[in-house]
Amino acid sequence: MAPILNGEVDIVIPTIRSLDFLENWRPFFEPYHLIIIQDGDPTKVIKVPQGFDYELYNRDDINRILGPKASCISFKDGACRCFGFLVSKKKFIYTIDDDCFVAKDPSGKDIDALAQHLDNLTKPSTPYFFNTLYDPYREGADFVRGYPFSLREGVPTAVSHGLWLNIPDYDAPTQLVKPRERNTRYVDAVMTIPKGTLYPMCAMNLAFNRELVGPAMYFGIMGDGQPLGRYDDMWAGWCSKVVCDHLGYGVKTGLPYLWHSKASNPFVNLKKEFKGLFWQEEMIPFFQSVVLPKECTNAQQCYLELAKMVKEKLGPIDPYFHNFAAAMVTWIEAWEEFNAPAKAKIDSVKSA
Ligand SMILES: O=c1ccn([C@@H]2O[C@H](COP(=O)(O)OP(=O)(O)O[C@H]3O[C@@H](CO)[C@H](O)[C@H]3O)[C@@H](O)[C@H]2O)c(=O)[nH]1
Ligand SMILES: [Mn+2]
Protein backbone atom coordinates (compact mmCIF):
# COMPACT_ATOMS: atom_id res chain seq x y z
CA MET A 1 0.00 0.00 0.00
CA ALA A 2 1.38 3.44 -0.91
CA PRO A 3 2.70 5.29 2.15
CA ILE A 4 0.13 7.72 3.50
CA LEU A 5 1.11 11.35 4.05
CA ASN A 6 4.74 10.43 3.48
CA GLY A 7 6.83 13.55 3.99
CA GLU A 8 4.44 14.72 6.71
CA VAL A 9 5.32 12.05 9.27
CA ASP A 10 8.29 11.35 11.55
CA ILE A 11 8.51 8.12 13.53
CA VAL A 12 10.19 8.75 16.90
CA ILE A 13 11.77 5.79 18.72
CA PRO A 14 13.46 5.95 22.13
CA THR A 15 15.86 3.09 22.63
CA ILE A 16 18.19 1.78 25.28
CA ARG A 17 18.17 -1.72 23.80
CA SER A 18 18.21 -2.58 20.11
CA LEU A 19 16.43 -1.62 16.88
CA ASP A 20 16.08 -5.16 15.53
CA PHE A 21 12.30 -4.79 15.97
CA LEU A 22 12.33 -2.51 12.90
CA GLU A 23 12.68 -5.57 10.65
CA ASN A 24 9.17 -6.56 11.73
CA TRP A 25 7.83 -3.11 10.79
CA ARG A 26 9.81 -2.72 7.53
CA PRO A 27 6.79 -3.03 5.16
CA PHE A 28 5.03 -0.21 7.02
CA PHE A 29 7.91 2.01 8.23
CA GLU A 30 10.53 1.86 5.47
CA PRO A 31 8.98 4.71 3.40
CA TYR A 32 9.02 7.03 6.42
CA HIS A 33 11.72 9.02 8.20
CA LEU A 34 12.80 7.79 11.64
CA ILE A 35 14.09 9.92 14.51
CA ILE A 36 15.91 7.62 16.91
CA ILE A 37 16.72 8.81 20.41
CA GLN A 38 19.48 6.65 21.85
CA ASP A 39 19.26 6.76 25.63
CA GLY A 40 21.90 5.63 28.11
CA ASP A 41 25.60 5.32 27.24
CA PRO A 42 26.31 7.53 24.20
CA THR A 43 29.48 5.58 23.41
CA LYS A 44 27.40 2.45 22.73
CA VAL A 45 26.88 1.95 18.98
CA ILE A 46 23.26 1.23 18.11
CA LYS A 47 22.82 -0.58 14.77
CA VAL A 48 20.03 0.69 12.52
CA PRO A 49 18.85 -2.00 10.07
CA GLN A 50 19.77 -1.27 6.43
CA GLY A 51 17.37 0.67 4.21
CA PHE A 52 15.77 2.97 6.77
CA ASP A 53 15.97 6.75 6.41
CA TYR A 54 16.82 8.07 9.87
CA GLU A 55 18.51 10.57 12.12
CA LEU A 56 19.91 9.32 15.42
CA TYR A 57 20.60 11.42 18.53
CA ASN A 58 22.47 10.23 21.63
CA ARG A 59 22.98 12.13 24.89
CA ASP A 60 26.08 13.88 23.60
CA ASP A 61 24.07 15.14 20.61
CA ILE A 62 21.26 16.37 22.84
CA ASN A 63 23.72 18.21 25.10
CA ARG A 64 25.53 19.71 22.11
CA ILE A 65 22.33 20.82 20.35
CA LEU A 66 20.42 22.15 23.37
CA GLY A 67 23.30 23.34 25.55
CA PRO A 68 21.98 24.26 29.03
CA LYS A 69 18.39 23.59 27.85
CA ALA A 70 19.34 19.89 27.63
CA SER A 71 18.49 19.78 31.35
CA CYS A 72 14.81 19.49 30.37
CA ILE A 73 15.38 16.23 28.47
CA SER A 74 15.35 13.13 30.71
CA PHE A 75 18.21 10.67 30.83
CA LYS A 76 17.72 6.91 31.36
CA ASP A 77 13.96 7.09 30.90
CA GLY A 78 11.82 6.66 27.80
CA ALA A 79 10.86 10.31 28.36
CA CYS A 80 13.92 11.22 26.27
CA ARG A 81 11.75 10.59 23.21
CA CYS A 82 10.33 14.10 23.37
CA PHE A 83 13.64 15.42 22.02
CA GLY A 84 12.53 13.82 18.76
CA PHE A 85 9.27 15.76 18.88
CA LEU A 86 11.31 18.95 19.33
CA VAL A 87 13.66 18.49 16.37
CA SER A 88 11.06 17.10 13.98
CA LYS A 89 9.72 19.47 11.33
CA LYS A 90 6.81 17.28 10.31
CA LYS A 91 3.09 17.69 10.88
CA PHE A 92 2.55 14.22 12.38
CA ILE A 93 4.56 12.24 14.90
CA TYR A 94 4.24 8.52 15.54
CA THR A 95 6.15 7.26 18.57
CA ILE A 96 6.65 3.57 19.31
CA ASP A 97 8.70 1.53 21.77
CA ASP A 98 11.45 -0.82 20.64
CA ASP A 99 9.70 -3.87 22.15
CA CYS A 100 6.54 -3.43 20.10
CA PHE A 101 5.75 -5.51 17.03
CA VAL A 102 3.14 -5.82 14.29
CA ALA A 103 -0.07 -7.37 15.68
CA LYS A 104 -2.64 -9.31 13.69
CA ASP A 105 -6.31 -8.40 13.56
CA PRO A 106 -8.97 -11.13 14.18
CA SER A 107 -8.87 -12.05 10.48
CA GLY A 108 -5.13 -12.75 10.81
CA LYS A 109 -4.09 -9.70 8.77
CA ASP A 110 -1.04 -7.69 9.81
CA ILE A 111 -2.09 -4.34 11.31
CA ASP A 112 -0.50 -1.25 9.76
CA ALA A 113 -0.64 0.74 13.00
CA LEU A 114 0.79 3.89 11.41
CA ALA A 115 -1.85 3.95 8.68
CA GLN A 116 -4.63 3.59 11.25
CA HIS A 117 -3.17 6.39 13.40
CA LEU A 118 -2.98 8.70 10.38
CA ASP A 119 -6.59 7.83 9.55
CA ASN A 120 -7.56 8.67 13.14
CA LEU A 121 -5.65 11.98 12.99
CA THR A 122 -7.06 13.08 9.63
CA LYS A 123 -10.70 12.48 10.57
CA PRO A 124 -12.58 14.64 13.10
CA SER A 125 -13.21 13.87 16.79
CA THR A 126 -16.45 14.24 18.74
CA PRO A 127 -15.52 15.39 22.29
CA TYR A 128 -18.77 17.25 23.02
CA PHE A 129 -21.35 14.46 22.61
CA PHE A 130 -20.66 10.71 22.78
CA ASN A 131 -21.58 8.66 19.70
CA THR A 132 -22.67 5.23 20.94
CA LEU A 133 -21.74 3.60 17.65
CA TYR A 134 -18.20 4.85 18.29
CA ASP A 135 -16.32 6.50 15.39
CA PRO A 136 -19.07 7.99 13.16
CA TYR A 137 -16.57 8.86 10.40
CA ARG A 138 -15.55 5.21 9.94
CA GLU A 139 -16.70 3.24 6.88
CA GLY A 140 -19.99 1.50 7.77
CA ALA A 141 -20.81 3.70 10.78
CA ASP A 142 -22.48 7.07 11.33
CA PHE A 143 -23.98 9.31 13.96
CA VAL A 144 -26.86 7.61 15.73
CA ARG A 145 -30.38 8.96 16.14
CA GLY A 146 -30.49 11.90 18.55
CA TYR A 147 -26.98 13.04 17.79
CA PRO A 148 -27.16 16.84 17.34
CA PHE A 149 -26.61 17.87 13.73
CA SER A 150 -24.93 21.04 14.98
CA LEU A 151 -22.08 18.86 16.33
CA ARG A 152 -21.69 16.41 13.46
CA GLU A 153 -18.86 18.33 11.80
CA GLY A 154 -16.67 17.37 14.77
CA VAL A 155 -13.36 19.01 15.69
CA PRO A 156 -9.75 18.51 14.49
CA THR A 157 -8.08 15.45 16.02
CA ALA A 158 -4.79 16.15 17.81
CA VAL A 159 -3.95 12.80 19.43
CA SER A 160 -4.42 9.14 18.44
CA HIS A 161 -3.77 6.70 21.30
CA GLY A 162 -3.29 3.10 20.20
CA LEU A 163 -3.46 -0.05 22.32
CA TRP A 164 -1.50 -3.25 22.83
CA LEU A 165 -2.05 -7.01 22.64
CA ASN A 166 -0.05 -9.40 24.83
CA ILE A 167 1.71 -7.36 27.56
CA PRO A 168 -0.70 -4.62 28.71
CA ASP A 169 0.60 -1.31 30.06
CA TYR A 170 0.01 -2.05 33.74
CA ASP A 171 1.64 -0.21 36.64
CA ALA A 172 4.08 -2.13 38.82
CA PRO A 173 1.65 -3.13 41.62
CA THR A 174 -0.83 -4.53 39.06
CA GLN A 175 2.00 -6.26 37.17
CA LEU A 176 3.23 -7.81 40.44
CA VAL A 177 -0.13 -9.32 41.35
CA LYS A 178 -0.94 -10.39 37.78
CA PRO A 179 2.44 -11.36 36.28
CA ARG A 180 0.97 -13.71 33.71
CA GLU A 181 -1.95 -11.58 32.58
CA ARG A 182 -1.96 -11.01 28.85
CA ASN A 183 -4.33 -8.85 26.84
CA THR A 184 -5.96 -11.08 24.21
CA ARG A 185 -9.02 -8.89 23.68
CA TYR A 186 -9.15 -7.08 20.34
CA VAL A 187 -11.84 -4.37 20.53
CA ASP A 188 -12.63 -3.13 17.05
CA ALA A 189 -13.35 0.51 17.99
CA VAL A 190 -11.96 4.04 17.96
CA MET A 191 -13.50 6.47 20.44
CA THR A 192 -13.13 10.16 21.18
CA ILE A 193 -12.31 10.80 24.84
CA PRO A 194 -14.95 13.28 25.96
CA LYS A 195 -14.01 16.87 26.78
CA GLY A 196 -13.25 17.26 30.49
CA THR A 197 -12.13 13.66 30.90
CA LEU A 198 -8.49 12.75 31.53
CA TYR A 199 -6.97 9.41 30.53
CA PRO A 200 -3.73 7.45 31.14
CA MET A 201 -1.82 8.13 27.91
CA CYS A 202 0.70 5.39 27.09
CA ALA A 203 3.46 6.36 24.65
CA MET A 204 4.10 2.83 23.42
CA ASN A 205 1.81 3.25 20.39
CA LEU A 206 0.98 6.96 20.10
CA ALA A 207 0.54 9.48 17.33
CA PHE A 208 -0.25 13.16 17.36
CA ASN A 209 -0.54 16.30 15.26
CA ARG A 210 2.63 18.18 16.17
CA GLU A 211 1.31 21.48 14.80
CA LEU A 212 -1.75 21.37 17.05
CA VAL A 213 -0.41 19.94 20.29
CA GLY A 214 3.34 19.33 19.95
CA PRO A 215 4.39 21.89 22.61
CA ALA A 216 2.19 20.13 25.18
CA MET A 217 3.75 16.72 24.45
CA TYR A 218 6.62 17.30 26.88
CA PHE A 219 7.57 14.14 28.76
CA GLY A 220 9.02 15.92 31.77
CA ILE A 221 12.07 15.36 33.94
CA MET A 222 12.08 11.66 34.81
CA GLY A 223 14.62 8.87 35.29
CA ASP A 224 18.24 9.50 36.27
CA GLY A 225 18.56 11.96 39.17
CA GLN A 226 14.79 12.42 39.45
CA PRO A 227 12.38 11.11 42.15
CA LEU A 228 9.96 9.83 39.52
CA GLY A 229 10.00 7.58 36.49
CA ARG A 230 7.47 5.97 34.14
CA TYR A 231 5.07 8.88 34.53
CA ASP A 232 6.49 10.67 31.49
CA ASP A 233 3.67 9.77 29.14
CA MET A 234 1.06 10.09 31.88
CA TRP A 235 2.15 13.69 32.49
CA ALA A 236 2.16 14.50 28.77
CA GLY A 237 -1.26 12.88 28.48
CA TRP A 238 -2.78 14.99 31.25
CA CYS A 239 -1.21 18.23 29.96
CA SER A 240 -2.07 17.58 26.31
CA LYS A 241 -5.66 16.63 27.15
CA VAL A 242 -6.38 19.85 29.11
CA VAL A 243 -4.75 21.81 26.30
CA CYS A 244 -6.81 19.99 23.64
CA ASP A 245 -9.99 20.55 25.65
CA HIS A 246 -9.17 24.26 25.90
CA LEU A 247 -8.26 24.68 22.22
CA GLY A 248 -11.16 22.57 20.94
CA TYR A 249 -9.16 19.62 19.62
CA GLY A 250 -10.00 15.92 19.95
CA VAL A 251 -8.20 12.94 21.45
CA LYS A 252 -8.99 9.42 20.26
CA THR A 253 -8.20 6.02 21.76
CA GLY A 254 -8.63 2.44 20.52
CA LEU A 255 -7.39 1.06 17.21
CA PRO A 256 -4.66 0.42 16.19
CA TYR A 257 -3.27 -2.41 18.24
CA LEU A 258 0.32 -3.54 18.24
CA TRP A 259 1.97 -6.53 19.95
CA HIS A 260 3.87 -5.50 23.10
CA SER A 261 6.47 -8.18 23.72
CA LYS A 262 8.56 -7.23 26.75
CA ALA A 263 7.36 -6.90 30.31
CA SER A 264 9.79 -4.61 32.05
CA ASN A 265 10.87 -5.66 35.55
CA PRO A 266 8.00 -4.92 37.97
CA PHE A 267 10.36 -4.47 40.93
CA VAL A 268 12.47 -1.93 39.03
CA ASN A 269 9.25 -0.31 37.83
CA LEU A 270 7.90 -0.12 41.39
CA LYS A 271 10.95 1.85 42.47
CA LYS A 272 10.58 4.24 39.51
CA GLU A 273 6.81 4.65 39.88
CA PHE A 274 6.56 4.59 43.66
CA LYS A 275 6.06 8.31 44.36
CA GLY A 276 3.79 8.63 41.33
CA LEU A 277 1.38 6.08 42.81
CA PHE A 278 0.36 8.52 45.54
CA TRP A 279 1.33 11.84 43.92
CA GLN A 280 -1.10 11.04 41.11
CA GLU A 281 -3.93 11.29 43.65
CA GLU A 282 -3.03 14.99 43.87
CA MET A 283 -1.80 15.57 40.31
CA ILE A 284 -5.01 14.35 38.71
CA PRO A 285 -7.39 16.58 40.73
CA PHE A 286 -5.06 19.46 39.83
CA PHE A 287 -5.42 18.75 36.10
CA GLN A 288 -9.17 18.26 36.52
CA SER A 289 -9.37 21.74 38.06
CA VAL A 290 -7.27 23.48 35.38
CA VAL A 291 -9.03 26.36 33.61
CA LEU A 292 -6.82 28.03 31.00
CA PRO A 293 -7.32 31.74 30.17
CA LYS A 294 -9.16 32.43 26.92
CA GLU A 295 -6.13 34.54 25.84
CA CYS A 296 -4.24 31.25 25.42
CA THR A 297 -4.89 30.48 21.77
CA ASN A 298 -2.13 27.97 21.02
CA ALA A 299 -0.41 25.06 22.73
CA GLN A 300 2.73 27.05 23.66
CA GLN A 301 0.75 29.73 25.48
CA CYS A 302 -1.40 27.09 27.20
CA TYR A 303 1.72 25.21 28.28
CA LEU A 304 3.38 28.26 29.81
CA GLU A 305 0.19 28.94 31.77
CA LEU A 306 0.19 25.31 32.92
CA ALA A 307 3.81 25.67 34.05
CA LYS A 308 2.83 28.60 36.27
CA MET A 309 -0.06 26.57 37.75
CA VAL A 310 2.16 23.51 38.35
CA LYS A 311 4.62 25.66 40.29
CA GLU A 312 1.86 27.21 42.40
CA LYS A 313 -0.44 24.25 42.93
CA LEU A 314 1.87 21.20 42.86
CA GLY A 315 5.00 22.91 44.21
CA PRO A 316 3.80 22.46 47.83
CA ILE A 317 3.72 18.67 47.33
CA ASP A 318 7.47 18.42 46.68
CA PRO A 319 10.31 20.69 45.45
CA TYR A 320 10.46 18.35 42.42
CA PHE A 321 7.43 20.15 41.00
CA HIS A 322 9.24 23.50 41.17
CA ASN A 323 12.00 21.96 39.04
CA PHE A 324 9.36 20.38 36.82
CA ALA A 325 7.62 23.72 36.24
CA ALA A 326 10.96 25.31 35.36
CA ALA A 327 11.71 22.44 32.97
CA MET A 328 8.32 23.01 31.28
CA VAL A 329 9.35 26.62 30.54
CA THR A 330 12.77 25.50 29.30
CA TRP A 331 11.02 23.01 27.02
CA ILE A 332 8.89 25.79 25.47
CA GLU A 333 11.98 27.99 25.08
CA ALA A 334 13.64 25.12 23.22
CA TRP A 335 10.46 24.53 21.23
CA GLU A 336 10.32 28.21 20.18
CA GLU A 337 13.99 28.06 19.25
CA PHE A 338 13.43 25.04 16.99
CA ASN A 339 10.03 26.05 15.70
CA ALA A 340 8.05 29.28 15.62
CA PRO A 341 10.78 31.83 16.53
CA ALA A 342 8.12 33.86 18.37
CA LYS A 343 10.68 34.74 21.08
CA ALA A 344 8.67 37.79 22.10
CA LYS A 345 5.90 35.54 23.43
CA ILE A 346 8.23 33.90 25.94
CA ASP A 347 9.73 37.20 27.08
CA SER A 348 6.26 38.67 27.61
CA VAL A 349 5.20 35.71 29.76
CA LYS A 350 8.49 35.64 31.70
CA SER A 351 8.25 39.35 32.53
CA ALA A 352 4.60 38.91 33.67
O1 LIG B 1 15.91 4.13 30.56
C2 LIG B 1 15.23 3.86 29.57
C3 LIG B 1 14.21 2.86 29.57
C4 LIG B 1 13.48 2.60 28.43
N5 LIG B 1 13.74 3.31 27.29
C6 LIG B 1 12.97 3.03 26.07
O7 LIG B 1 11.63 3.44 26.33
C8 LIG B 1 10.72 2.49 25.76
C9 LIG B 1 9.86 1.89 26.85
O10 LIG B 1 10.69 1.08 27.66
P11 LIG B 1 10.15 -0.35 28.21
O12 LIG B 1 9.58 -1.12 27.06
O13 LIG B 1 11.22 -0.98 28.99
O14 LIG B 1 8.99 0.13 29.18
P15 LIG B 1 7.54 -0.52 29.44
O16 LIG B 1 7.44 -0.79 30.89
O17 LIG B 1 7.22 -1.59 28.48
O18 LIG B 1 6.57 0.67 29.07
C19 LIG B 1 6.80 1.89 29.71
O20 LIG B 1 7.35 2.74 28.74
C21 LIG B 1 6.44 3.81 28.53
C22 LIG B 1 5.55 3.57 27.36
O23 LIG B 1 6.33 3.80 26.25
C24 LIG B 1 5.69 3.89 29.77
O25 LIG B 1 6.46 4.59 30.70
C26 LIG B 1 5.55 2.50 30.21
O27 LIG B 1 4.44 1.97 29.56
C28 LIG B 1 11.58 1.47 25.00
O29 LIG B 1 11.67 1.87 23.65
C30 LIG B 1 12.92 1.56 25.71
O31 LIG B 1 14.03 1.21 24.86
C32 LIG B 1 14.70 4.30 27.26
O33 LIG B 1 14.90 4.97 26.20
N34 LIG B 1 15.41 4.57 28.39
MN1 LIG C 1 7.80 -2.23 26.75
Each residue's pLDDT tens digit, 137-168: 999 999 999 999 999 999 999 999 999 999 99
**Shortest-distance Cα residue to atom 27 of ligand 1:** 169
Q: What is the pLDDT of residue 264?
A: 84
Q: Distance, CA 21 to ligand 1 centroid (Å)?
A: 14
**Shortest-distance Cα residue to atom 26 of ligand 1:** 230
Q: Using the predicted structure, report yes or no on whether residue 2 has a pLDDT greater than 90.
A: no
**Shortest-distance Cα residue to atom 11 of ligand 1:** 264
Q: Is residue 348 very low, low, confident or very high in pLDDT (cuts 50, 70, 90)?
A: low
Q: Please, are residues 154 and 125 in contact by the beta-carbon 8 Å criterion?
A: yes
Q: What is the pLDDT of residue 6?
A: 84
Ligand 1 pocket, residues with Cβ under 6 angstroms: 14-17, 39, 76-78, 80, 97-99, 169, 202-204, 223, 230, 232-233, 262, 264
Could you say which ligand is closest to the alpha carbon of residue 230?
1
Element holding 254 (H helix, E strand)? strand 250-260
Higher pLDDT residue, 170 or 339? 170
Q: What is the pLDDT of residue 5?
A: 86
User: If DSSP codes are grouped into helix, strand and coil, which group holds residue 48?
Assistant: coil
Q: Please, are residues 167 and 261 in contact by the beta-carbon 8 Å criterion?
A: yes
Q: Please, are residues 89 and 35 in contact by the beta-carbon 8 Å criterion?
A: no
* Annotated domain spans of the chain: 7-337
Atom number in ligand 1 closest to CA 17: 31
Residues of the chain above pLDDT 90, percent: 93
d(CA 17, CA 205): 17
**Shortest-distance Cα residue to atom 13 of ligand 1:** 264
Helix, strand, coil % (nearest 5) of the chain?
Answer: 40, 15, 40
**Shortest-distance Cα residue to atom 16 of ligand 1:** 264
Q: Tens of pLDDT along 104-126?
A: 999 999 999 999 999 999 999 99
Q: Please, are residues 21 and 99 in contact by the beta-carbon 8 Å criterion?
A: yes
Considering the segment(s) 7-337 as one domain, its CATH architecture is Alpha-Beta Complex (3.90)
Q: What is the pLDDT of residue 269?
A: 94
Could you say which ligand is closest to the alpha carbon of residue 21?
1
Q: Tens of pLDDT along 37-83?
A: 999 999 999 999 999 999 999 999 999 999 999 999 999 999 999 99
Q: Is residue 257 very low, low, confident or very high in pLDDT (cuts 50, 70, 90)?
A: very high
Q: Distance, CA 204 to ligand 1 centroid (Å)?
A: 8
Q: In testing the pocket of ligand 1, which one of 15, 25, 76, 204 has its CB within 8 Å of the most ligand atoms? A: 204
Mean pLDDT of the chain: 95
Would the pTM of this model clear 0.80, i.e. be above it?
yes
Q: What is the pLDDT of residue 42?
A: 97
Q: Using the predicted structure, report yes or no on whether residue 9 has a pLDDT greater than 80.
A: yes
What residues pack around ion ligand 2 (CB closer than 5 A)?
97, 99, 262
Q: What is the pLDDT of residue 341?
A: 58
Q: What is the pLDDT of residue 4?
A: 76
Q: What is the pLDDT of residue 350?
A: 54
d(CA 224, CA 240): 24
